[in-house]
Amino acid sequence: MRKVLPILTLFLFVVALILPLSSPQTVEGQAATEALTTDMDAKTDDLFNGFGALGTPIDECVAEPVPPTARGNGRFEDNKFIFSERETIEDGLGPTYNDVGCVECHQSVDVGAFGQQMEFRAGHLSGGAFVDAPGGQLIHARATDSDIVEHISTAETVKAFRIVLSTLGDGFVECLANATLQNNVAAQPAAQRGTLSQVPVTEANNTLRFGRFGWKAQHASLVSFSGDAYLNEMGITNPFDGFGGRSSSAPDAGTHENPASTAEGVIDVTFPSPFDPVPDPEDDGLDVLAFADFMAATRAPGRQNPIPAAATRGDPLFTAVGCAVCHTRTFTTAAPGTLINGGAFSVPAALGNKIIHPFSDFALHNIGTGDGIVQNAGQSSANQMRTAPLWGIRARNRLMHEGLNITIFDSIQLHAGQATTARNNFNSLSAGQRNDLIAFVLSL
Amino acid sequence: MKSHLPLIVTFLLSICVATGCSSGTKQAVVETAPATYQPTPESPPADRLHSVAAPKLSEVEEAVKRVFKDVAVIHPDYKSSFLTGDFNGDLSQDLAVVLKPVPEKLADMNEEHPRWLLRDPRVPHNPREPLHVEKDEVLLAVIHGYGNNDWRDPEATQTFLLKNVVGSGMRVQNGTEFVKNFRSEKKPRPQGDLIGETLKGNEGYLYYNAATYSWYDPKTFKGEAETPGVFHGRSARR
């Protein structure tokens, strides 16, 4: 027994050392796995990626949806319901706005995806610099009162429409670390290298992070993006509406309703004006958390299934001609537990260490299609646009930022500036190869 | 029990030590804050357009061949068959040149995915009704400039091939002056220079806006076409 005891002690010591190290709680060093994808078919119930709880579809006759009180502590079905609700004047809708709910625009082919709607931005040049139109660059399409429907003067010579983007899979994009985006851009050839914009994260006291959402990459977190959209697209003030994608250049922009730019001049429409019966903030921020968590809990757009033979042939051509330089095929999200968004969000297990295929570098480039609008990336960004993520592009037929192009072929031919070499390489392909490459893009 | 005490103590201590060691790996990792990033300068100097040399026929032929290979040639019946200007407003000189298709290569000109964008600026673009180049048709090709050598650059190939817009008296109209001086309530918003000409007896302008070329007839212009998908009908696209 005296001999056995030291041996047994040593054995137990080794076991005690190994046990914690083999614990599944330790995530660093784990191999990354492919992110879950949706088949992009509204008839299939496959949007949920595992972030938070799933819950059950909401029936308002039975129970009201419950929003989260902090990121990730709500239920997907509740958040989806809130994302799909139509706002009313009593909720704070307007007085100027673009639509009545998230899903009104982000709907096709499934909740959270694309829409054909446009937002309209305008301004003018002063000394070569872009200046917002009076009352703000975002010219709302709708209002709750005909007296404040927005009109611009002919002095606003810079004008641009922007089509709705899909939000599916954006939770994975949010979980891309700054360094991941920066390393990718640094590896691009100098002539094609993108510009990463540093934008404020509203929920982290405006800490800077690399932008990745929106046509100008003007947002870095889904809460900032949602808070901005709630104010600027629906006219609902909230604690997160902030300064990130603000529609006005006023120093206190984002803390109240956007003023209306009318033929009679700029009108203050915020409470307690006769146009706005609801005190600010009109939302306590919980709806914003629901929007953000809904988007964060959606799966990434999946490939066409089955993949056509032409698309398989076009796959290597996409890289060979140079499309993949900016339309980056693959990223891996940060490890679970990583603090992102200025420390305001910890990467959850469902979104961490995931391999995604967004076909975008989320950086700004000048490809000759710039709209002249400046948001929060400085004057040099006027003619730059974020590389459009191509995942799920087969589900939309209005392309480029203005949605004026109907075909992939036209869109490719309109690539100029930093994309000139890639376009020329495409044109150097045989007719069959060009068809194959287009088939590949349409399989994404 | 007493004899097992060292064993139990050692085991518990081992767990404490091991747990203490591994807890370090569970500490939250904070993503790196953005470092100051210097983007690649990409805008050409503003005075570039002033130093562009007049085009020579051989240079124009080379540019046409670069894009169209052997399927189209400079139209021999037009004395002033080419113009240069910054038609798309990107501070790079572009080339507009009158072409005719080579009859034997008409099928190549009408392939599904050519190396140019075929448009008729006088009618709204409808992808469901693809345009075709006809035999002996008079076409205007606008080759957009790129890089240090503008339209002469070997990489300058982005081209719009325009139908039904070759008239008489073709000339370049400065875009800035047009916007400043043209007194009309309804006028287009060109991104760059315009091409003025008389087309079927009517004076008008060819201009680039919203990723395409359009025709502006001051007598009949009613505002630019509606953008598809806009919430409510604003008359202008940009």
Say what the pLDDT of residue A389 is. 98
The answer, yes or no, to whether residue A184 has pLDDT greater than 80, is yes
Is A284's pLDDT higher than 60?
yes
pLDDT band at A379 (very low <50, low <70, confident <90, very high): very high
**Residue A120 and residue A73: Cα distance in Å, rounded?**
35
What rounded mean pLDDT belongs to chain B?
81
* pLDDT tens per residue, range A395-415: 999 999 998 888 999 999 999
Choose from B231, B235, B237 for mutation: most chain A CBs within 10 A.
Answer: B231
- Decide if B229 and A118 are in contact by the 8 Å CB cutoff: yes
CB-CB under 8 Å, B39 with A193 = yes
Kindly calculate the radius of gyration of chain A based on its CA atoms and give it in whole angstroms. Answer: 24
For residue A338, the distance in angstroms to the closest alpha carbon of chain B comes to 5
Cβ–Cβ contact A178 with B under 8 A: yes
Q: Give the pLDDT confidence score for residue B3 in this predicted structure.
A: 57
Contact residues, chain B, for A353 at CB < 8 Å: none
Q: H or E segment at B117? A: strand B117-119
Pairwise CA distance, residues A18 & A214, whole Å: 47
CB atoms within 10 A of CB A278: 21
Instruction: State whether residue A5 sits within 8 Å of chain B by CB.
Output: yes
Interface predicted TM-score of the whole assembly (ipTM), two decimals: 0.79
What residues contact residue A372 under an 8 Å CB cut-off, 6+ apart?
A: A123, A130, A158, A160, A382, A383
What does the CA dihedral A307, A311, A312, A318 come to, rounded to 10 degrees?
A: -140
- Nearest residue on chain B to A150, judged by CA atoms? B234
Q: Chains A, B: CB contacts under 8 A, how many?
A: 185
Q: Residue A400 carries which DSSP code?
A: S
More confident residue, B225 or B60: B60
Confidence of residue B228 (pLDDT cuts 50, 70, 90): very low
Alpha-carbon distance of A207 to A344, in angstroms, equals 10
Q: Quick one: pLDDT at residue A20?
A: 43
Check pLDDT > 90 for residue B35: no
Question: What mean pLDDT, rounded, does chain A reach?
Answer: 91
Q: What pLDDT does B7 receive?
A: 62
Which residue type does B17 have?
A: V
Q: Inform me whether the C-beta atom of residue B211 falls under 8 Å from chain A C-beta atoms.
A: yes
What's residue A132's pLDDT? Answer: 93
- For residue B139, the model assigns a pLDDT of 98
Tens digits of per-residue pLDDT, B135-167? 999 999 999 999 889 999 999 999 999 999 999
What residues of chain B lie within 8 A of the CB of A17, using their CB?
A: 14, 17-18
